Structure 1
Amino acid sequence: MAIRRANSTQRGPQSEEITQDVVNRHNKPDAHGKHSHSIFHSHSHDEHDNGHDAGQIVQALQTAGDRGSRITLIGLFSNVALTGAKGFAGWYMHSASLLADAGHSMSDLLGDFVVLFCWKLSRKPPSARYPYGFAKFETLGTTTVSLLLIGGALGIGFHSYHLLVEALVTTVSTIPPGPLHDLLQQVTSAAHNVPAVGHSHGHTGILDPNAAWFAAVSVIAKEWLYRVTKKVADEEHSPVLYANAIHHRSDAYSSVVALFAIIGSWLFPALPLDPIGGDSSFLHCLLLSPGLIVSFVILKQGLDLFGGAFTELTDAGISANSQRKLVHALNPLLSSPSPPSTAFGNGFHDTTELLAIRHLRAKRAGSMMYVDLTADVPSNMSVLATSRLEVKISQTLKEARKEISEVRVKFHPVDTHAPRS
């Protein structure tokens, strides 16, 4: 069964032909045995569209059998455990750095919920309300996680900045008058004009160095979560899972800063890094600088993720290198010899000869890719032959790139018998 227009040689996106494999793909039952609506399912139920989509969202969150959901849930439960453990240990062992690290792990919980929701929803089949699918929900999730990363980087940066300023203030009081003293005094005077965001050192008590064990466990756990989540993200070509992996690593970085501060305070009691207080020196300033470096690293990662998500939201095309690879994948169809053609009485031929590929373009939506192109074919090619060639082009591209979800082909007729100049 195929719906085709009378003109067999050229088709545009407005009158795209629907071949039998597309019909089967849209009408086959989903993983839960439920029928997914296709464009051939023509009964009217607009008044139920919102309820149908809401049901899909609930169903998506109830099923967690795929790898993306499993690794996200592992990360979520790990963040719950790490937040509780570091929060209690920070309070009991009088570690302000560990308490701050627990707060960062708590922010990761929000990222895990966002990732789980967007990942599951993006895997649902197209609906009447979303006929092109839910893939861009994955892009939306990537955008949200990137903003969380940027916010976390700014928070760590401001906190480290104000700790560094306070260390410089005490350093100024310990060095003799001179050019360096005057320079540092000017710097600290200007720095105090920058407002502090949630900056407080009200937690008092003697620091227990055993708090470092909790920070060390957090570093190991979050680095492991980063690696396994990134592995799944690479295999699934999922930007939102990759963003969550980066979020795990940012938490590992913040735990490194906490570990550094706790050990530094233990090794150098006169340089209380956790929290800041008492006498200090210029070495104190050097010990605080890793927090600023980490904040810049996390900020760059967040901005990179946001930039990638922004290009997807604005329908930017794929890179020139990826485009060339797609064209190269179709070269065997161009170079293969044409099979013997069968002539019909109306002058058309049953040949699947592909003369050239022109105007190939593609865009990403989450882990999916959508491709459209123009194919030059003989002007006397039959409707059946163009249908076969369309299927062959689609299969070739999907075999070359797993993430390709849809291929749309526009055929351009070429008179192969015209005299060449």
Structure 2
Amino acid sequence: MASAADQKRGHAGHGHHHHHDNVYLTSQNKNDAGVRITRIGLYSNLGMAVAKGAGGYMFNSQSMVADAWHSLTDLASDILTLATVSWSLRPPTDRFPLGFGKVESLGSLGVSSMLLFGGIFMCMNSCTSLYAQLFLDPDAAAALLEHAHHGHSHSHSHGAQGPSLHAAWLAAGTVAIKEWLYHATMKVARERKSSVLASNAVHHRVDSLTGIVTLAAILGANFLHNAAWLDPVGGLLISLLVIRAGWGNTLSALYELADKSIDSEVRQSIRQRASESLADISEGHEVEVREITGVKSGQNYLVDIELAVPNMWTIEDVRAVEDAVRTRVGAKVRGARRIRIRFVPKEAKIAGPFDEFIPGDVSQRSSPEIEHEHDHHDHDHDHDHGKKKDL
């Protein structure tokens, strides 16, 4: 296998493409696009959490108060995202030879879990309020809501009046801001193949949808007769949207931490680039791309490529092919951070999948502990047999 230095020299010929594709993985610049858009989202969530919290309290909107709490969870997730993105930019070390991509996966799991459990909390809160308004008398409803919301009696004492129409302007403003943040963050996430940035972008989209629900609940409560119950219904719908997004992102993060294989689209791109590199060298027509596997580690793809070559090839021959394939794949496939190539004889029988794994079952005779006990037993048996013989 080529050394890191060899790989670096091989990439020099395609420096522009490789730098363009993977600069986010190695840059220490805090003004990088991924870090910058996350900070913009962080400041926006902070401002909107304060504005929606104050507005929801002043304008008596339970949906907006729930939405403000959701923005606070996004604020915490933005901080976590920023920390994991910065950490994942570090290069590999002796202690962590595969880099720090899994730190980003852990960050994505944390962000998504916060979203999931936040949605569950809001769902329980909205169900309590809806039950109180629809099935209890005003005094019992006020007592239940006061207990459930830790004594925030201001919003509950005016619950029958519904939210103020002024809250609609605030809700419409948050929708516009969050839609812009979603598109800006998702653009960077797709360019960088970053799961944690994609998860954060989904947060912005969920916020936009929840803002629409909040706006509809406020308008409905104001323009429909006896429709104060629409406000907690809006909070319930918000919580269901949050739970759905949180569950999907949590599952994706768990798959990544469990080393789920890279998807077929990435494998096809790697195969295409490897074939192109083989076509550029004179010996390439004799090489066959057999198998491509790999896992995703944060923004990084850790790739294994199996190439079949003629039996008579020398180490120098395979080294030239290895450098060509690693250079082209590393330069053209965004996120391909580590590329390991395995050579097999072309004339040999094709091995089954995962043949490099050592079987997990170990027989008793191959266990050193069992062999030791067996030898000790034979020694005791021979010793007893010798005693009988002496007698």
- TM-score (norm: length of structure 1): 0.68
Q: For residues 291 and 275 of structure 2, what CA distance do their matches in structure 1 show?
A: 15
Write out per-residue CA displacement over residues 290-332 of structure 1, whole angstroms, 9 at most, x where no aligned residue: 5444433332222221121111111121234543443344334
Q: For residues 321 and 235 of structure 1, what CA distance do their matches in structure 2 show?
A: 15
- Tell me the equivalent position of 2:364: none
Write out per-residue CA displacement over residues 27-69 of structure 1, whole angstroms, 9 at most, x where no aligned residue: xxxxxxxxxxxxxxxxxxxxxxxxxxxxxxxx96xx5210001
Q: For residues 87 and 10 of structure 2, what CA distance do their matches in structure 1 show?
A: 19
- Tell me the equivalent position of 1:270: 226
Q: Residue type matched to 2:53 in 1?
A: G
- Tell me the equivalent position of 2:70: 104
- Tell me the equivalent position of 1:307: 251
Matches within 5 A, 1:237-248: 237-248=193-204
- Tell me the equivalent position of 1:51: none
Matches within 5 A, 1:129-144: 129-144=95-110
- Tell me the equivalent position of 1:259: 215
Q: For residues 297 and 89 of structure 1, what CA distance do their matches in structure 2 show?
A: 22
Cα RMSD after superposing both structures: 3.0
- Tell me the equivalent position of 2:84: 118
Q: Does 1:18 align with 2:35?
A: no
- Tell me the equivalent position of 2:60: 94
- Tell me the equivalent position of 2:336: 404
Q: For residues 141 and 387 of structure 1, what CA distance do their matches in structure 2 show?
A: 38
Q: For residues 63 and 126 of structure 2, what CA distance do their matches in structure 1 show?
A: 11
Q: Note the C-alpha offset of 1:21.
A: 2.8
Q: Does 1:373 align with 2:317?
A: no
Q: For residues 329 and 266 of structure 1, what CA distance do their matches in structure 2 show?
A: 60
Write out per-residue CA displacement over residues 152-210 of structure 1, whole angstroms, 9 at most, x where no aligned residue: 22123223323333344269x9xxxxxxxxxxxxxxxxxxxxxx975876223565321
Q: For residues 271 and 399 of structure 1, what CA distance do their matches in structure 2 show?
A: 60
Q: Residue type matched to 1:357 in 2?
A: V
Q: Residue type matched to 2:258 in 1?
A: T
2:38 corresponds to which of 39, 53, 72: 72
2:124 corresponds to which of 139, 158, 169: 158
Q: For residues 175 and 214 of structure 2, what CA distance do their matches in structure 1 show?
A: 10
Q: Note the C-alpha offset of 1:412.
A: 1.9
Q: Note the C-alpha offset of 1:352.
A: 5.2
- Judging changes above 3 Å, is the alpha-carbon distance between structure 1 residues 159 and 260 closer, same or farther for their aligned structure 2 residues? farther
Q: Residue type matched to 1:380 in 2?
A: M
Q: For residues 60 and 238 of structure 2, what CA distance do their matches in structure 1 show?
A: 23
- Judging changes above 3 Å, is the alpha-carbon distance between structure 1 residues 252 and 87 closer, same or farther for their aligned structure 2 residues? same
Any gaps of 5 or more consecutive residues in structure 2? Answer: 12-26, 139-146, 349-391
Between Structure 1 and Structure 2, the one with more helix by share is 2
1:210 corresponds to which of 141, 151, 166: 166
- Judging changes above 3 Å, is the alpha-carbon distance between structure 1 residues 250 and 237 closer, same or farther for their aligned structure 2 residues? same
The SS at the match of 1:374 is strand
Q: For residues 170 and 264 of structure 1, what CA distance do their matches in structure 2 show?
A: 22
Q: For residues 286 and 255 of structure 2, what CA distance do their matches in structure 1 show?
A: 33
- Tell me the equivalent position of 1:5: none
Q: Note the C-alpha offset of 1:211.
A: 1.8
8 Å CA contact retained: 2:269, 2:333: no
- Judging changes above 3 Å, is the alpha-carbon distance between structure 1 residues 152 and 337 closer, same or farther for their aligned structure 2 residues? closer
Any gaps of 5 or more consecutive residues in structure 1? Answer: 1-15, 27-58, 174-195, 274-283, 340-350, 417-421
Q: For residues 37 and 280 of structure 2, what CA distance do their matches in structure 1 show?
A: 47
- Judging changes above 3 Å, is the alpha-carbon distance between structure 1 residues 99 and 303 closer, same or farther for their aligned structure 2 residues? closer
- TM-score (norm: length of structure 2): 0.73
- Judging changes above 3 Å, is the alpha-carbon distance between structure 1 residues 87 and 333 closer, same or farther for their aligned structure 2 residues? closer
Q: Does 1:413 align with 2:345?
A: yes
8 Å CA contact retained: 1:353, 1:377: no
1:389 corresponds to which of 317, 321, 332: 321
Q: Note the C-alpha offset of 1:337.
A: 8.7
2:177 corresponds to which of 212, 221, 242: 221
Q: Note the C-alpha offset of 1:226.
A: 1.0
1:230 corresponds to which of 178, 186, 197: 186
Query: Identity over the aligned pairs, expressed in percent?
Result: 30
- Judging changes above 3 Å, is the alpha-carbon distance between structure 1 residues 269 and 296 closer, same or farther for their aligned structure 2 residues? same
